[in-house]
Amino acid sequence: MCGIVGYIGKKDAENTLIEGLKRLEYRGYDSSGIALVQNKKMFSEKAIGKIINLEEKLSGKKFSGNVGICHTRWATHGKPTKENAHPHFSCDGDIAVVHNGIIENYQTLRDDLKKKGHKFLSETDSEVLPHLIEDFYKGDLREAVLKALKCVQGTYGIAVVSSKNPDEMIAARKGSPLVLGVGNGENFVASDVAAILGYTNQVVYLNDGEIARVASDDFQITDMDNQQIKCEINKIEWSLEESQKGGHEHFMLKEILEQPKVVVDSTRGRLLPDEGSVKLGGLEEVEEDLRKIEKIIIVACGTARYAGLVGEYMLEEYAEIPTEVEFASEFRYRKPIVDERTAIIAISQSGETADTLAAIREAKRKGALTLGIVNVVGSTIARETDAGVYNHAGPEIAVASTKAFTSQLTVLALITILLGRQRNMSLDTGKKIIEELEALPEKIEIILKNKVDIKKLSEKYSKYSDFMYLGRKYCFPLAEEGALKLKEISYIHSEGFPAGEMKHGSIALIDEDFPVVCVAPKDSVYEKNISNVEEIRARKGKIIILTTQGNKEAEKVADDIIYIPDALEMLTPILAVVPLQLFAYYVSSFRGLDVDKPRNLAKSVTVE
């Protein structure tokens, strides 16, 4: 997702804005730009590519300002060019706008504005905004922005400055996240708290349909009908240090290595071993509603959806509740059959995923109970669901999700225990799952200590162009997640399948140049997995087997082996995913690619 940072205060805004943009680089972008206001004059600069290119253009410039906005763009309408980069400006150059989201009726607006004499310089939908604001401007910038936004169909998170109104910045949100940072004699606007954490940990989350007038020492928020809104100032609990590399070469490696701590933090204060149950504070208000549910639908996208697929097995086997997992992007375009006895669980690391938000809004219209599993406190999904559970995984900066996935699996296990104990799960079973959960961090540490072996294996296979990942039952979603990690950061064609589906077409791809990773721990479907491995061997396919420590039988049928400690079958994915993440990470590194910021991808996808 594109990044927005705005500043108003006593300091020179440029350094603060650029530093904020750098903290949003992990989201992915292709261009950047800045606009500064001082003494009723506007200064701007744009650049293609990395933020360092913008810094080089700014180097030696004598203009400064105490109010400004900046942006990193991820191309939607129009190619990555300087003209298409933000900020965009009014015809007179006095109004600058940065925008995240999509203006659906931009062509109609653009045509109408052209008839009025407005000149457009870009191919973007966003450029209609400064021209619309200019069209309505009569001296009050907030009023002009409000009138302009009432003409807009679509989504937006915007920040606006004007050289005619140098003592204020306007921000508004509909469907694209925006947060106000509250400082001492200075205030901030950003699309992500990471951009402003070094300056303040006091924030106000804008809701859809809210517009803010921000000065250096004050701010006011109103709705689209100009009614004043009382807002809550939230304190961000994680620190700037947590969002930095801490001496590691990449954020992704740091986040993989943090996973033992993530499991501890995701379970901290939530386990009740003597009762064989859990305490989830975020669900306490709806516990009686949860007793009545007869069906669960999990909605998510990408990696979060694969976590949901593992959760489906957990919930059906241990809580005995029929569970479905839906592509959030397709949910509202079907006619989903939900009612007051249906619980919708939305999983999203950012809590801002547009498709997942749309799914829960559709479910709420139909009377379903909506629950969220999110990592970002105060995010839109966290606010709009009826109840939920936070991951407590800390900031995840690398675009490819690792520790958030692990925490999502952990939270799904906790929810399974809660719902299971409400129903038919025995005390002994609840105690056993909790005991196994408590043992996971140490077992993950064992895997991480062997990362050098996985690195060597990755180098061996880093030149291949195609991969297949296979697994069954709890580990079939891991096959899909392992394939996704590899394709995300190494650009290698990789596909994940339930192992039993391979012979229904995909086996045609197998040859000596098409390695297969089979996730086959010693579990209830191990023999079935090995049967599929034999089919691959018969076709000269190269085989990597990920299996349980001590399973020497697998060495007879595999070219290479990755071992993990033994664990309860439902929790095995939390262990098995770690070597798959490391394998993808090292393959990408050996190919010399940008591991943390893979091409064409964004960390938080807030457009459909």
Q: What is the pLDDT of residues 531-557, one digit of tens each?
A: 887 787 777 778 999 999 989 888 888
Distance CA 243, CA 394 (A): 8
Three-state SS string over 309-378 comes to HHHHHHHHHHHCCCEEEEEHHHHCCCCCCCCCCEEEEEEECCCCCHHHHHHHHHHHHCCCEEEEEECCCC
Domain ranges in the chain are: 3-236, 251-446, 454-590
What pLDDT does 437 receive? Answer: 97
Residue with the larger pLDDT of the pair 287 and 399: 287
Tokens of 336: 């989903």
- Quote the percentage of the chain above a pLDDT of 70: 96
For the chain, what is the mean pLDDT? 91
Chain-centre distance for alpha carbon 389: 16
The pLDDT tens digits of the residues spanning 483-534 come to 999 999 999 999 998 887 777 877 767 778 889 999 999 988 878 888 887 7
**Taking residues 417-439, what's their average pLDDT?**
97
What pLDDT does 19 receive? Answer: 92
The continuous run of DSSP H or E covering 7 comes out as strand 3-8
Distance CA 491, CA 569 (A): 31
What pLDDT does 514 receive? Answer: 83
Decide: 429 and 566 in contact? Cβ < 8 Å.
no
Q: For residue 44, what are the CA distances in angstroms to 51, 69, 159, 195, 566?
A: 14, 10, 15, 20, 58
**Taking residues 474-479, what's their average pLDDT?**
94
Chain-centre distance for alpha carbon 448: 24
Chain-centre distance for alpha carbon 344: 19
Residue with the larger pLDDT of the pair 404 and 602: 404
The pLDDT tens digits of the residues spanning 314-343 come to 999 999 999 999 999 999 888 888 999 999
Catalytic status, residue 475: no
Q: Which of 330, 334, 325 is nearest to 296 (CA)?
A: 325
pLDDT-based confidence at residue 607 (cuts at 50, 70, 90): low
The continuous run of DSSP H or E covering 38 comes out as strand 31-38
- The most confident of the ranges 70-79, 200-209, 351-360, 580-589 is 580-589
Please list, residue by residue across 297-310, b when 16 or more beta carbons sit within 10 angstroms of its beta carbon and e when fewer do: bbbbbbbbbbbbbb
Tokens of 425: 């799960």
What pLDDT does 27 receive? Answer: 66
What pLDDT does 605 receive? Answer: 64
Residue 26 pLDDT more than 70? no
Choose the catalytic residue: 485, 487, 597, 603: 603
The continuous run of DSSP H or E covering 211 comes out as strand 210-214
Residue 570 pLDDT more than 80? yes
The pLDDT tens digits of the residues spanning 218-240 come to 999 999 998 999 888 888 776 65
What pLDDT does 1 receive? Answer: 59
What pLDDT does 62 receive? Answer: 74
Domain 251-446 bears CATH identifier 3.40.50.1970: no
Residue 145 pLDDT more than 60? yes
Decide: 166 and 141 in contact? Cβ < 8 Å.
no
Longest CA–CA span in the chain (Å) reads 79
HSE at residue 596, side-chain half, CA atoms within 13 A, is 18
The pLDDT tens digits of the residues spanning 156-197 come to 999 999 999 999 999 999 988 899 999 999 999 999 888 888
Residue with tokens 């309860």: 568
Quote the pTM value.
0.80
DSSP string, 474-490: GGHHHHHHHHHHHHHHH
Residue 23 pLDDT more than 90? no
Decide: 89 and 160 in contact? Cβ < 8 Å.
no
Residues with Cβ < 8 Å from 59, sequence gap 6 or more?
none
- Quote the percentage of the chain above a pLDDT of 90: 71
Distance CA 75, CA 203 (A): 28
Residue 449 pLDDT more than 70? yes
Q: How many helices (H) and strands (E) does the chain have?
A: 18, 26
What single-letter DSSP state applies at residue 274?
G
Decide: 173 and 378 in contact? Cβ < 8 Å.
no
HSE at residue 79, side-chain half, CA atoms within 13 A, is 1
Choose the catalytic residue: 2, 70, 301, 475: 2
What pLDDT does 529 receive? Answer: 82
Residue 604 pLDDT more than 70? no
Taking phi first (over 0 means left), then psi (-120 to 50 degrees means alpha), and beta for anything else, what does residue 108 get? alpha
What single-letter DSSP state applies at residue 236?
P
Distance CA 115, CA 106 (A): 14
Strand partners, 36: 43, 68
Residues with Cβ < 8 Å from 297, sequence gap 6 or more?
323, 324, 325, 326, 331, 336, 338, 342, 343, 344, 345, 363, 368
Which CATH entry fits the domain spanning 454-590: 3.40.50.10490, 3.40.50.720, 3.40.50.300, 3.20.10.10?
3.40.50.10490
Tell me the one-letter amino acid at 332.
R
What single-letter DSSP state applies at residue 78?
S
What pLDDT does 231 receive? Answer: 85
Where does residue 535 rank: exposed (0-12), middle (13-18), buried (19+ CB within 10 A)? middle
Q: Which of 497, 485, 510, 509 is nearest to 579 (CA)?
A: 485
Tokens of 335: 């006619």
Decide: 412 and 388 in contact? Cβ < 8 Å.
no
Tally Cβ neighbours within 10 Å of residue 242: 15
CA dihedral 203, 280, 263, 314 (to 10 degrees): -130
251-446 and 454-590: identical CATH topology: yes
| CATH fold label, 3-236 | Glutamine Phosphoribosylpyrophosphate, subunit 1, domain 1 (3.60.20)
Catalytic status, residue 603: yes
Residues with Cβ < 8 Å from 288, sequence gap 6 or more?
none
Residue 606 pLDDT more than 60? no
What pLDDT does 24 receive? Answer: 83
Please list, residue by residue across 247-257, b when 16 or more beta carbons sit within 10 angstroms of its beta carbon and e when fewer do: eeebbbbbbbb
